[in-house]
């Protein structure tokens, strides 16, 4: 899988980055209207980096997969191929 770094606005309540609300990608701002799915990677395996994934639908109806890298506190988007 190939990912590209993006800026994400999140619903930050009592802890760090939580649910994404919108993201900027390739000069466009995408408002998230629905989180379709979410999953974790690397939490139970100390040899893998902890990541949080969100499958989201935007206001224009597009579906994207966003990834939050917990160690580096950075967001990225899965590139469509």
| pTM to 2 decimal places | 0.85
Report yes or no: 25 and 32 within 8 Å, Cβ to Cβ. no
* pLDDT tens string 60-76: 999 999 999 988 889 99
CA-CA distance, 81 to 72, in Å (whole number)?
A: 26
CA distances from 53 to 4, 20, 27 (A): 14, 10, 22
Per the model's pLDDT, the better-predicted residue between 15 and 62 turns out to be 62
Tokens 């990225």 sit on residue = 76
Nearest in space to 21 (alpha carbons), one of 3, 36, 35, 38: 35
């Amino acid at each position: 899988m190939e990912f590209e770094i993006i800026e994400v606005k999140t619903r930050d309540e009592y802890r760090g980055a939580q649910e994404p609300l919108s993201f900027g990608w390739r000069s466009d701002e995408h408002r998230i209207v629905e989180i379709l799915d979410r999953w974790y990677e690397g939490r139970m395996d100390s040899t893998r980096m902890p990541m949080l994934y969100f499958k989201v639908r935007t206001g224009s109806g597009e579906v994207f997969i966003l990834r939050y890298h917990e160690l580096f506190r950075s967001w990225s988007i899965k590139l469509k191929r």
